[in-house]
């Protein structure tokens, strides 16, 4: 076979193949044998039907198509290997001239991975604004812990205030028809921090305990349930009682409830201090990694073809839809609420960022001969097992069912290796 390649704009490679008649006939005969093994033809054992019968029953064009696929794949594999092509898609046949009595001609197109021109990525000096633990961090942590043990207690108040916590019965309707999910009994509602529709909690201020009353509200135009979005509604409400949130004092006894291993407040403070120190260290490590990587990105030159961006956008859309379904909504509802153009613009931006990051990481890995090894994957699997409270064997079984997981774990491991390499080979100056 005579194989020629031509690299065109947009990272497209054209593979031009000429195969002589002998090659075409050989592959045609092999195609006949393959097809004969797959079909049942009356009067012949499987695989024994002669060529003439196959051409009559199956059609010469179907046999030629099978032969063309084999020749094209063989030629493409050879072109990729001989020319060290970094391809990212399957080849697409653009022209097919298959002949048994003279040379055959095929033209294929295949997409190449976008080329990345790396700037200097070693020996850089990068300034980083250091993260410092706030002076009041300990106080805030202690306050947060106490608030975790806070309880709502009934008061003798009879009129709802702006800062009240109330227990209410409510039942909503639109034009006299009950709202699905719009009913509750003795529901706790924090007037000052309500997640109900706008105007609901505010309408309760000044209302008395024990009396039924009705309020009018309007659902937001971008409400997640589009069937009631923007519609006026009425709610019948009864306030059962008014409560206040009581936060306990920090005592040795409370500390023991937090952790039986703590004997007193000092033990709790020591544990918090350790946590704050670890947090500061991790924050600075993250800042360093981001600063160095962003410095490298400043000089990156990469031409990403539109088809690659479109495929990544579709992948991100699928991820967004999966998350939406897990939250009990739909991708359409998200588009309706936030605006399709806005979301698609963000997805495109995210796609370009993800593609660029992947290309840069891969390029540095090639330049520095950094590879992911089996032990790196095993470590990732062990982390997943600990995270989900299961065994590594169980994770491996799940991974084997979905090869994409292995690819994801491999990418994570490679990214971490590149991050460490960049951190080790560049200087950081903290401000």
Angle subtended at Cα 187 by Cα 184 and Cα 190, rounded to the nearest 5 degrees: 135
Cite the DSSP H helix spans in 327-339: 331-338
Q: Sketch out the chain's domains with CATH numbers.
A: 2-113 (3.30.70.1050), 151-246 (3.10.50.40), 265-430 (1.10.3120.10)
pLDDT of residue 405: 85
Q: Phi first, then psi: give them for residue 238, nearest 5 degrees.
A: -130, 125
With beta carbons less than 8 A apart as the criterion, state whether 200 and 217 touch.
Answer: yes
Name residues of the chain where pLDDT drops below 70. Answer: none
Reported as a single tens digit per residue, the pLDDT across 384-397 is 899 888 898 888 88
Q: Phi first, then psi: give them for residue 183, nearest 5 degrees.
A: -135, 140
Cα separation, 376 vs 411, in Å, equals 11
The count of residues in the chain is: 431
Reported as a single tens digit per residue, the pLDDT across 52-86 is 988 888 899 999 999 999 999 999 999 999 999 99
pLDDT of residue 317: 93
Partners of residue 417 on adjacent β-strands? none
Please give the structure tokens belonging to residue 358: 């992947």
Cα separation, 227 vs 62, in Å, equals 52
Written as one string, the DSSP assignment of 97-156 is E--SSS-EEEEEEEEBPPPEE----SS-EEEE------TTHHHHHHHHHHHHT-EEEE-S
pLDDT of residue 23: 94
pLDDT of residue 5: 94
Cα separation, 64 vs 210, in Å, equals 85
Cα separation, 227 vs 181, in Å, equals 13
With beta carbons less than 8 A apart as the criterion, state whether 117 and 300 touch.
Answer: yes
With beta carbons less than 8 A apart as the criterion, state whether 297 and 361 touch.
Answer: no
Cα separation, 374 vs 221, in Å, equals 53
pLDDT of residue 186: 94
Angle subtended at Cα 274 by Cα 272 and Cα 278, rounded to the nearest 5 degrees: 115
pLDDT of residue 400: 82
Cα separation, 99 vs 28, in Å, equals 10
Please give the structure tokens belonging to residue 348: 């495109």
pLDDT of residue 351: 94
Cα separation, 229 vs 231, in Å, equals 6
Burial of 412 (0-12, 13-18, 19+ CB in 10 A): middle
Please give the structure tokens belonging to residue 350: 């995210």
Angle subtended at Cα 4 by Cα 72 and Cα 359, rounded to the nearest 5 degrees: 80
């Amino acid at each position: 076979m005579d194989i020629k390649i031509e690299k065109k704009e947009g990272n497209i490679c054209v593979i031009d193949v000429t195969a002589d008649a002998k090659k075409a006939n050989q592959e045609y005969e092999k195609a006949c044998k393959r097809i004969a093994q797959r079909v049942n033809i009356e009067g012949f054992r499987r695989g024994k039907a002669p060529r003439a019968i196959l051409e009559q029953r199956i059609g010469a064009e179907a046999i030629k198509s099978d032969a063309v696929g084999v020749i094209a794949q063989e030629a493409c594999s050879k072109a990729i290997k001989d020319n060290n092509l970094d391809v990212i898609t399957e080849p697409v046949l653009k022209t097919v001239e298959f002949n048994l009595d003279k040379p055959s001609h095929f033209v294929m197109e295949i997409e190449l991975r976008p080329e990345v021109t790396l700037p200097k990525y070693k020996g850089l000096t990068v300034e980083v604004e250091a993260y410092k633990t706030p002076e009041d961090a300990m106080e805030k942590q202690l306050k947060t812990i106490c608030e975790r043990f806070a309880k709502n207690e009934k008061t003798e108040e009879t009129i709802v205030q702006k800062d009240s916590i109330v227990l209410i019965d409510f039942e909503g309707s639109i034009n006299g028809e009950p709202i699905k999910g719009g009913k509750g009994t003795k529901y706790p509602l924090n007037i000052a921090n309500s997640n109900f529709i706008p105007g609901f909690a505010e309408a309760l201020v000044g209302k008395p305990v024990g009396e039924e009353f009705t309020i009018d509200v309007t659902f937001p135009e971008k409400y997640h349930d589009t069937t009631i979005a923007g519609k006026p509604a009425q709610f019948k409400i009864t306030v059962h009682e008014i409560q206040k949130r009581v936060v306990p004092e920090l005592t040795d006894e409370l500390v023991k409830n937090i952790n039986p291993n703590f004997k007193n407040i000092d033990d709790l403070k020591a544990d918090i201090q350790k946590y704050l120190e670890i947090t500061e260290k991790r924050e600075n490590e993250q800042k360093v990694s981001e600063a160095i990587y962003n410095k490298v990105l400043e000089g990156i030159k990469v031409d990403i073809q539109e088809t690659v961006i479109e495929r990544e956008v579709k992948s991100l859309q699928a991820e967004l839809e999966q998350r939406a379904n897990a939250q009990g909504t739909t991708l359409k509802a998200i588009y309706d609420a936030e605006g399709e153009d806005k979301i698609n613009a963000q997805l495109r931006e995210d796609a370009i960022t993800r593609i660029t990051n992947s290309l840069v990481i891969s390029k540095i890995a090639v330049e520095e001969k950094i590879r992911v090894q089996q032990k790196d994957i095993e470590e990732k699997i062990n982390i997943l097992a600990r995270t989900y409270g299961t065994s590594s064997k169980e994770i491996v079984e799940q991974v084997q069912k979905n090869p994409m997981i292995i690819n994801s774990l491999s990418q994570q491991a490679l990214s971490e290796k590149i991050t460490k390499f960049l951190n080790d080979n560049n200087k950081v100056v903290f401000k």
